[in-house]
Amino acid sequence: MKVRKLLKKDKKQKWVESKSTANNLEKIDLKKVDDYDEEVNVYGRLHIMLVALDMKEGSDFEVFFKTKKRFNEFKDLLNKLGIDCYIKYDPDTTSLENFGTLYEDNEVIKRVNEKLDREVVARVFITKNDSYDQKFFINLVSMRKNEKYHRLYGEFLGYPKKDIETFVYQQKPRWKQKIIQIKGEEPSKPLNIDKALKDSNFTEKEKETLKAFNSHILCGEKECLQRAVEKSMEKRRKLEELGVDVDQKIENLVF
């Protein structure tokens, strides 16, 4: 059995924006996001919560809904949480397709194909920053994966500038890196997080939390790791104050 290509339901790819309808008088339980655990993976749901709490600038994730009605309910929930959504239906490819090709187990492939055949398959960009608009995301997904793309995408996700520049430098061909080195403009080398954490005095809880809340390359400066751990623990505490079971979410993450 093979993973099927995502079936295009419309030859022309469709974009839709869905803007915040937040009402200061209406309190929405953030844990309602987990009602959609079957359609949105744990990373997506975690990032929705962080964006809603103003603890993350933006995020994007894939969704797989059996009906448009349920997807619209999901969109409405995000809008009530103060989040703007920019939705690309039937993307060119999905990480789920790529995941499925790694397996030969027919049961795994069957589950992947079932999701790919659902009525709503989409990539959703979310943010509370109203300086973004639909045109930005349409341009972003059509760009070549060059320096401009990585900077724009990294800024949208809220990554620190030093971390973005470290990543951009690592993507350059060796000859360009050499020129930058000669000019003395080389950014910090990327941090080997596993080694840095092993050699650190952070608690196991802090190490697990960093890995759960930090998915990007960190610059190699000592303060970058300290900053990342502090921010990750701050996010964890805020979620736990609202009754979110962070340990359970960490167990379901793949490091």
pLDDT per residue of the chain (255 residues) written in tens, 0 to 9: 555 555 555 545 689 999 998 876 578 899 999 999 999 999 999 999 999 999 999 999 999 999 999 999 999 999 999 999 999 998 776 777 666 565 566 777 788 788 888 899 999 999 999 999 999 999 999 999 899 999 999 999 999 999 999 999 888 888 888 898 888 888 888 888 888 889 999 999 999 999 899 878 888 888 889 999 999 999 999 999 999 999 999 888 754
In angstroms, the CA 81 to CA 30 distance is 8
In angstroms, the CA 152 to CA 136 distance is 10
pTM of the entire predicted model: 0.87
Contact between residue 126 and residue 193 where contact means Cβ atoms under 8 Å apart: no
Output the pLDDT for position 11.
46
Output the pLDDT for position 5.
57
In angstroms, the CA 197 to CA 199 distance is 5
In angstroms, the CA 245 to CA 255 distance is 18
Residue 224: burial class (beta carbons within 10 Å; 0-12, 13-18, 19+): buried
Residue 43: burial class (beta carbons within 10 Å; 0-12, 13-18, 19+): middle
In angstroms, the CA 250 to CA 206 distance is 12
Nearest-Å Rg of the Cα atoms of the chain is 20
Output the pLDDT for position 104.
64
In angstroms, the CA 64 to CA 38 distance is 8
In angstroms, the CA 13 to CA 186 distance is 40
How far is residue 30 CA from its own chain's centroid?
18
Tell me which H or E stretch contains 114.
helix 106-116
